[in-house]
Amino acid sequence: MGETPPFLADPETTRESIMRATYLALCEHGYAGLTIQRIGESFEKSKSLLYHHYDDKDELLLAFLQFMLEEHESWVPESTDDGPRERLDAVIDAMLPPELAAEHHGFTAAMVELRAQAAHDERYRDQFAEHDRVFQAHLVDVIEDGIEAGQFRDVDAEAVAAFLGTTVAGAMTRRVTGGGDRAATTTREALESYVDRVLLADETEAEA
């Protein structure tokens, strides 16, 4: 099926093994086709452990979303040698790569399905709200660093971050619901134009 993310490639604890199995099952079956039994097929330990820790697939998926959030927070560096523009490009590249491998396409599609559950399930809504908050805070930090460095204009960092986050989320959804890679490419080009026009300080501002 391809490679799993680095933090799931070599699980050291039972929890990490369960999260890895959940990731693999989501990639293959999506939310609608997911069952505890199918997660168990990718679980290297006794399947009874799954039922011991989780009552149903939604309880397990909510734990998986929390796990992904923890990994995202630990992955985001507190500081970097790259400039603000490079960091912003890296975030957008990670969320909207030019192409998606089959496994990553399956996982993205599954995450879109999971987000749809938030429309009528408060538990999912709370999880995705927290994911969005963390992603938004990361973008705000990058933008504010760029403003302080004189590379970005003195914009409303919260508003710009909200626009970028919403645009990226929309492109991810379109990509796996009919738009294909072209939807991501087109959106990425538009975002680059937006950053150039709205964020980047001109030479006079940068020298001031």
Amino acid present at 113 = E
Q: How many domains does the chain have?
A: 2
Is the same domain home to 91 and 186?
yes
Mean pLDDT computed over 142-151: 95
- Do residues 40 and 117 both lie within one domain? no
Can you tell me whether residue 54 is helix, strand or coil? coil
pLDDT one-digit tens code per residue, 77-95: 455 567 899 999 988 888 8
Highest average pLDDT, of 19-23, 35-39, 58-62, 152-156, comes from 152-156
Q: Which token pair is 181?
A: 């890679």
Q: Of 97, 90, 96, 60, whose CA–CA distance to 75 is shortest?
A: 90
> Where among 75, 99, 127 does a domain terminate?
75
Domain that holds residue 40: 1-75
For 127-146, the pLDDT digits (tens) are 999 999 989 999 999 999 99
Residue 139: CATH number of its domain: 1.10.357.10
Please list the alpha-helical segments (H only) found in the chain: 6-9, 14-29, 36-41, 48-53, 57-75, 84-95, 102-117, 122-148, 157-174, 180-194, 203-207
pLDDT in tens, 42-80: 898 888 888 888 888 899 999 999 998 887 665 554 555
**Above 50 in pLDDT, residue 171?**
yes
Answer yes or no: do 204 and 133 share one domain.
yes
